[in-house]
Amino acid sequence: MSSQPHVVILGTGFGGIGAVRKLRDADVQITIIDKRDYHTFQPLLYQVATDELGPEDIGFPVRDLLHGHTNIEFHQATASGIDLAHKTVEVEGLGPVLYDYLVIALGAVVNFFHTPGADQSAFPLYTMDDAIRLKKHILETFEAVDKNPALIDDGALNFCVVGGGATGVEFSGALAELLRAELKEDYPNLPVEKAQVILYERSPHLLAPFEAKLQSYAQQALEERGVQVHTGVGVSKVDPASIELSSGETVKTHTLVWAAGLQANPIVNSLGVPLGHGGRIPVGPDLQVKDHPGVFAIGDIAAMTDGETGKVLPGLGATALQAGRHIGETIASLVAGKAAEPFKYLDKGTMAQVGRGAAVVELPTGGTLTGRVAWLAWLGVHLALLNGSEEKTSTFVEWGWNLLTHKRGKRIILSDEEAAGHDNPDP
């Protein structure tokens, strides 16, 4: 057994990765646990769902973090509970793992808000599996309509999206472009112009955190791309071939994409501490869990506030990454006998893409950008944020190819066995 303090990092999202990067040269032993063996770059999941990028473009192998570091181990395993009193994490297949310092960075899961039928029939868009499943469903729907065009009258080509935040807006714009360009050419015998993308948002505006003029720009840019935008309307029931709206109206559809909300990872219920808004773990200014020194919660699982201003921080990749780096440095300081510092968030602005050549950007200085300039800024920032050099290169190549040719390259449907890499040979 090593005499170095043992740091257990749960989750290799933006928060976990930020922490590992700052800690790996410290005098500690690190164990990383994640149920996946890759980091998912969630902001680009919608591009996997709409076939602009492949999964490998936005998935970063976690084991790359181990290269050149003898003090780190990684286990692809699911954490099922945390016992703060005994300083252990229950990990499936590994048993209890003891820690001296714990980083809880397990993110969030979809929240269907108890909407009847949503968990069975809606298509969430929060994980790589979700994105791959949704892309497959869209392509399979077209193949089904190709064989039986009567399905159009049953609503098969009505692609509905609920949630007008960045995920819903970005997905709707990209899907509208996929329909009007590639799929129109792929199915010359189908009336693809009858396909509709319909976006519902319960509040009066899209992109709630953005300035009003950016909200209006985003709505107009979506409508120019053929997306029907309905604000002030939510989805109250989901069936396999229809949805019910909060207005009482029923809409025929075989696809309801759920981009309407998240809640903290349910592991929070094992902690036995009072939880904050959205079931998130409340933390102090230095991101430690109250009454549990050495236990840090960061990113989407935590209710983080800025240590200087007390402002509640948004659930963003940038906040999680900065928080991860901060606690990586904090743990290294604590191990060296120094005190923990409060977390100060550096706001670098927020942005969302609406389609090719259209985006909105809110700068930290208060300025705003729209259109092509904003879109180029969006491309640059997302490329810079991608983790590995291979992912950066392949994404850059894919985007360049898509821009030049206006084509997406991977419109094929893999069976579940093929996708898992163990297809049976033909008899």
Which residues are part of the catalytic machinery?
Answer: 170
Beta strands in 187-314 (DSSP E): 196-201, 227-231, 235-239, 242-245, 250-252, 255-258, 262-264, 281-282, 295-297, 302-303
Closer CB to ligand FAD, 107 or 307, in the complex:
107
3-state secondary structure of 111: coil
Residue among 181, 186, 204 at smallest CA distance from 141:
186
- In the complex, minimum distance from the CB of residue 53 to ligand FAD, in angstroms, rounded to a whole number: 13
55: CB partners within 8 A, 6+ apart: 48, 128, 131, 132
> Footprint of ligand FAD on this chain (CB under 6 A)?
11-16, 33-36, 42-43, 45, 78-79, 105-107, 125-126, 166-167, 265, 267, 299-301, 315-318, 320
Closer CB to ligand FAD, 48 or 145, in the complex:
48
The two tokens of residue 246 are 């909060």
State whether the Cα torsion 382-383-388-391 is positive or negative: positive
**Per-residue buried b or exposed e for 109-133, using 16+ beta carbons within 10 Å of the residue's own CB:** bbbbeebebbeebbbbbbbbebbbb
Rounded Cα distance between 311 and 22, Å, is: 25
Bridge partners (DSSP) of residue 82 are 89
Residue among 268, 260, 262, 261 at smallest CA distance from 105:
268
Please tell me the number of Cα atoms within 13 Å of 373 on its side-chain side. 6
Closer CB to ligand FAD, 11 or 307, in the complex:
11
CA angle 418, 423, 425 (to 5 degrees): 140
Residue among 406, 352, 412, 424 at smallest CA distance from 182:
406
- In the complex, minimum distance from the CB of residue 57 to ligand FAD, in angstroms, rounded to a whole number: 15
Closer CB to ligand FAD, 128 or 157, in the complex:
128
The two tokens of residue 35 are 């149920």
